[in-house]
Structure 1
């Protein structure tokens, strides 16, 4: 089964799940690394990433070497471990030779791949080769990177047989929570090695090879087994068979993963899909019980995250709507700031009927942000300039007769009639506040300015 997140750009190669010869089967998964292999190359008139070509090249070479090895070797039970070592060496040599040749074709001495994070043709590889001979089934496992090989047993459940090649060296749960760089992967620079081990294979069993998109987006490793078993039983309940199981898994992964996902499976030792499903019934119930609480919590967390995202969107919109409504009146009296490099001729003309700018209060106006304790105190509005009536365009050069002194000529008012300017006050002082100049009396809290 294969899940493509980007159409026709899947950097996972098609998985392997096939019989090489009577008694010998193989499963395999290959994940081209889009970060380290992001360089776009043109091969066979197809511009693709190096990761795309790398995973497919690894698949081709692996199948070729495995088929040649299976055909030529003579199976002996005592040679099982030795056969696994020989297989790993033969595959390593074949991969290095073919990858180096292709890199020279597309990049010329790998110059296009230089850089600390760039690797020439990088990919993971995970293979499980099953031998069913002489009544002693064995499983040869080879890998590089974080793609995995598993065996799924009716009573014991799911077992991981590979160890992720990550710098963190964490276990499967830690690797779900952390995004660690890889410490080993197949590439054309030849700086890799294939891990290998050979284990006895109890039958019946399902052997699985999978890329990290299959298991890396689930809450726990147990949820991967739950995914396998619940989909198996759902297909069986619907009267389906092995091909339908692969389709059901593909559909589920399409909605849960955030990466390309490929998985190859070999179901060994059962005569029918129905028989296999029946043997996994007890295990399925147990795993469903084990994962139930985490699954519920994960669903609640997902819903809460979506609700929080909606609330954040409403909050951001409310902020913008409030500022849009409040801003025009709030900035009505704001005038352009005059800098030393700006002349009067360069200043924009004030709108008709608007208030003239307040006079600068010494160094405070020049400093901009912050307060200067040694600056001259700012005069109150009453003493600093024209009143609001003047700002609105009223001519007060000749005040009404009732406001003049008896002997005061037109156009002149004595200093006594103006009153003295109030002393400057600061927030928190006990001095009298500046008099109201609007003529409307003291403004109460909540009045519109």
Structure 2
């Protein structure tokens, strides 16, 4: 897909990229967005969006190198600068996933996590890395998250077959014009409540890596009604909002202001860099819509319902803050800060209580429940 750099920038400013399909192709509208916090050192890989026209199957995925666990320099680039193990890991995992999907599309491999796991293992074992002198249980060689959706269209049934695949705390979703945003993956953390994850940001219990065993989790959805939108995103998008409903609001509020796929991606880029504290990557594929204008109109009712039911009563102080639930929503008198903090938490709880059932419709069971 053609790519454009939204705003010409000169180093050392961080880079930002948007890719999109040219006007949509046969009912498939695709875009992806990538940004970094530090020029040349962004540890998210570029998003993967692939669609095989002959077999009507595809894959979207994102990869977030785990900077804390993989902070050791691992590879020196042509510019002489060193890249961390996390930087290398996300790129290598993207390459492995793309190669795996090419074989799946050619009917020489199965679209199952066991085979993808094998590709990841082989590519990571042959990737550049340097042994770390720093030990500890949190240290990893070439650690990265992975979250994506393998899909196969069933046009005669007006449906799509979905197989989300993930490791770590990046996420995959499906967005329906009737029922809204549904998460398809469960974070590999000890906490599973999406609002508590926003408030506490716990460590991951499983990531793709080169030196320890890891799991690629999956679930299978045999049929999801068209039209719909598939989304994969790293936590730079959904980890710096105030409630889980805010991420769906971001998707829909930018869609209704856009005139085509590129504008939608560019608006998502502009919005995320205004609030995030991390590198970001997002892959999006809309399927079953007659045109971009049809898609935009189709989600208007859902946008109105979301705004009324889930964002009602939003404290105005949140419009001036980036990170939810930290106790920093107000300045000045300590008593004022406590009252503001309590008011924000009460609104978050109310929003989440109203939003949770629909959002978790396709949430996979905890891993220990189906091993």
Give TM class, smaller chain: 0.7 to 0.9
Two-structure CA RMSD over aligned residues (Å): 2.3
User: Does structure 1 conserve the Cα–Cα contact (< 8 Å) formed by 2:317 and 2:329?
Assistant: no
Unaligned runs of 5+ in 1: 75-82, 313-449
| 2:126 match: secondary structure | helix
The higher radius of gyration belongs to 1
State the Cα deviation string for residues 4-58 of structure 1 (Å, max 9, x = none): 2212211000011231343012111100011001111234444111111110110
What is the deviation of 1:294?
A: 4.8
Match of 2:163 among 130, 135, 140: 140
1:171 deviation in Å? 1.5
Choose between structure 1 and 2: higher strand proportion.
2
Flag the 1:295–1:17 CA change in 2: closer, same or farther, 3 A: farther
State which of 111, 121, 125 in structure 2 corresponds to 1:100: 125
Of 30, 54, 75, the match for 1:42: 75
Relative distance call for 1:306 and 1:194 in structure 2 (3 A) is closer
Counterpart of 1:336 in structure 2 is none
Number of residue pairs the alignment of both structures matches? 292
Asked if residue 127 in structure 1 is aligned to residue 148 in structure 2, the reply is yes
C-alpha distance 15-198 of structure 1, shift in aligned 2 (>3 A): same
Inter-partner Cα distance in structure 1 for 2:330 and 2:136: 42
Pairwise mapping of residues 268-283 of structure 1 onto structure 2 (< 5 A)? Answer: 268-283=287-302
Give the structure with the larger helix fraction: 1
- Which structure is richer in relative contact order (CA contacts within 8 A, separation 6 or more)? 2
Q: Which residue of 1 aligns with 2:276?
A: 257
Stretches of structure 2 that go unaligned for 5 or more consecutive residues are 1-32, 335-371
Structure 1-normalised TM-score?
0.61
8 Å Cα contact 2:174/2:231 also seen in 1: yes
Task: Say whether the 8 Å CA contact 1:143–1:194 is kept in structure 2.
Answer: yes
Deviation at 1:206, TM superposition (A): 0.3
2:265 corresponding residue in structure 1: 246
- 2:252 pairs with one of 193, 207, 229: 229
Query: Which residue matches 2:44?
Result: 12
Matches within 5 A, 1:12-411: 12-22=44-54, 23-45=56-78, 46-72=81-107, 83-84=110-111, 87-102=112-127, 105-107=128-130, 110=131, 112=133, 114-133=135-154, 135-136=156-157, 137-168=160-191, 170-199=192-221, 200-235=223-258, 240-299=259-318, 302=321, 308=331
Relative to structure 1, the CA distance from residue 52 to residue 302 in structure 2 (aligned partners, 3 Å threshold; closer, same or farther) is: closer
Q: Do the aligned partners of 1:43 and 1:106 also contact (CA within 8 Å) in 2?
A: no
Displacement of 1:130 in angstroms is 1.3
SS in 2 for 1:234: coil
State whether residues 146 and 208 of structure 2, in contact with CA within 8 Å, keep that contact through their aligned partners in structure 1: yes
